């Protein structure tokens, strides 16, 4: 019974979330506020790059508004 309790305690400890700041990076928030989306790699189609996301790891892209 003690072994089962020990295994359960180890399981609970191993399932905890990674500690750290859970908020988005400032460039990510600015991208979304300005109507952009974060993409891996270059912008696709006619979307235009307008900055970065995730502290420079991703590209912030925005589709042009129709005239």
Kindly give the confidence (pLDDT) of every residue in the chain, 67 residues in length, as a single tens digit, with 9 standing for 90 and above. 788 777 777 776 676 655 555 667 899 999 999 999 999 999 999 999 999 999 999 999 999 887 6
Domains of the chain, earliest start first: 24-67 (3.10.360.10)
- Whole-prediction pTM value? 0.62
User: Which backbone phi and psi does 7 adopt, to 5 degrees?
Assistant: -65, -40
Distance of CA 26 to the CA centre of its chain: 12
User: How many Cβ atoms are within 10 Å of 60's Cβ, its own excluded?
Assistant: 24
Report strand pairing: 37-39 vs 58-62: antiparallel
Whose tokens are 């460039």? That residue is 27
């Amino acid at each position: 019974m003690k072994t089962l309790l020990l295994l359960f305690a180890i399981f609970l400890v191993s399932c905890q979330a990674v500690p750290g700041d859970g908020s988005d990076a400032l460039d990510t928030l600015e991208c979304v506020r300005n109507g952009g989306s974060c993409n891996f790699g270059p912008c696709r189609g006619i979307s235009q790059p307008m900055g970065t996301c995730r502290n420079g790891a991703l590209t912030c892209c925005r589709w042009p508004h129709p005239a």
